[in-house]
Amino acid sequence: MTEVRHNWTQEEISEIYYSPLLDLVYRAATIHRENKDYSEVQISSLISIKTGGCPEDCAYCPQAARYNTGVDVHAIMPKDEVIAAAEKAKAGGASRLCMGAAWREVRDNRDFDKVIDMVKAVNSLDMEVCCTLGMLTESQAQRLADAGLYAYNHNLDTSEDDYKRIITTRTYDERLQTLDNVRKAHISVCSGGIIGLGETDADRISMLRTLSNLPQHPESVPINALVPVKGTPLADQPRVSVWDMVRMIATTKIVMPKSVVRLSAGRTEMSTVEQAFCFMAGANSIFAGEKLLTTPNPSFSDDMAMLELLGLKPREAFKNGRPGKKVEEAVEAN
């Protein structure tokens, strides 16, 4: 079995990243197939439970209040609508519901109390529950864990050096601190990044080095292709090449072999053949459903047809144990 390392250098990851594409895919696919369940794809559905009006200045985000992107601002979604969305997602084939709120950080108020109730309600539907709510304190992470939260998403987005070009309203260290707080609460960590922001290859490699050298690798690593949105500073960025996505996914699988690599935003621009290359390179998770917060995404029916064509199958919920079981024990069980 492939060794899990936490001491990767920039040079080592660069050598992997720049290796001939088919050799890179073959190496990643070989590592991927060391897992007996390599044909399983973890399917998540992402909904926006509080939309727009965010005080952050993330250059890619249509929900930032300072940009005129046409996104309507909505207060926090009622719990019954969240439950209905979860039931629809489960019927469509999703095993996990991820709830996103356009907040800079979680505040200890009535809205957070509502999120806690949502987590409990969705968990009772026999679905894994994920949240992405911005920065999180250790005590807030523990509240979510006690409510049954399975995973928490908090992406690094890009390298530490490139970060200030994309976001100035919070620091890279604050993002890492949130990941640490999530880990302390024994919640599964979901953290990756976005390519196509105008970053260099070195930035992409540096981001993977940061994630792969954490004391414990994220259980899930989303690789997003930027979806340019009119009104944001990155509206005119060109589409990312599918081969850049394949290269990133394969490199991620090699340096973090036990992590689930999620083929995330940008799939609407990819053909079935292009997505098949991503699965071959080690992707074994997708977001399904017509929207990713506010941007388009393939439908459940289209994704189920694609998985059937490729001989892949949806992964069942709680394959690595229920909330409350230490994440590190769950990973060993995989």
**Residue 269: partners with Cβ closer than 8 Å, 6 or more residues away:** 225, 239
CA atoms within 13 A on the CB side of 275: 26
Question: 160 and 174 in contact (C-beta within 8 Å)?
Answer: no
Alpha-carbon gap, residue 104 to 134, rounded angstroms: 5
Structure tokens at 272: 């079935």
When computed from its CA atoms, the radius of gyration of the chain, rounded to whole angstroms, is: 18
Question: 41 and 313 in contact (C-beta within 8 Å)?
Answer: yes
72 burial (CB, 10 Å; 0-12 / 13-18 / 19+) is exposed
Question: 106 and 136 in contact (C-beta within 8 Å)?
Answer: yes
Alpha-carbon gap, residue 108 to 291, rounded angstroms: 28
Please give the angle made by the CA atoms of 186, 260 and 59, to the nearest 5 degrees.
90
- Catalytic residue positions? 54, 58, 61, 98, 130, 190, 262
Alpha-carbon gap, residue 322 to 320, rounded angstroms: 7
- φ/ψ of 39, rounded to 5, equals -85, 0
